[in-house]
A and B are shown apart, each in its own frame.
Chain A
Amino acid sequence: NAGVTQTPKFQVLKTGQSMTLQCAQDMNHNSMYWYRQDPGMGLRLIYYSASEGTTDKGEVPNGYNVSRLNKREFSLRLESAAPSQTSVYFCASSPEGYSNQPQHFGDGTRLSIL
Chain B
Amino acid sequence: GENVEQHPSTLSVQEGDSAVIKCTYSDSASNYFPWYKQELGKGPQLIIDIRSNVGEKKDQRIAVTLNKTAKHFSLHITETQPEDSAVYFCAASSGSQGNLIFGKGTKLSVKP
Contact = CB atoms under 8 A, between A and B. Distances in A.
> Is B truly associated with A?
yes
Interface of A: 4, 33, 40-45, 48, 50, 58, 90, 92, 97-108
A104 B44 CA distance: 8
Interface string B24-59: 000000011010100001111110010100000000
Contacts of B98: 50, 97-99
Contacts of A48: 99
Interface of B: 6, 9, 31-32, 34, 36, 41-46, 49, 51, 89, 93-95, 97-100, 102-105
Nearest to A44: B102
A33 B100 CA distance: 10
B89 A43 contact: yes
B102 A33 contact: no
Nearest to A106: B43
A42 B100 contact: no
B32 A99 contact: yes
Q: Which of A40, A41, A99 has the most CB of B within 10 A?
A: A99
B93 A107 contact: no
B103 A100 contact: no
B101 to A, nearest CB: 8
A95 B87 CA distance: 25
Nearest to A9: B41
A106 B43 CA distance: 6
A11 B9 CA distance: 29
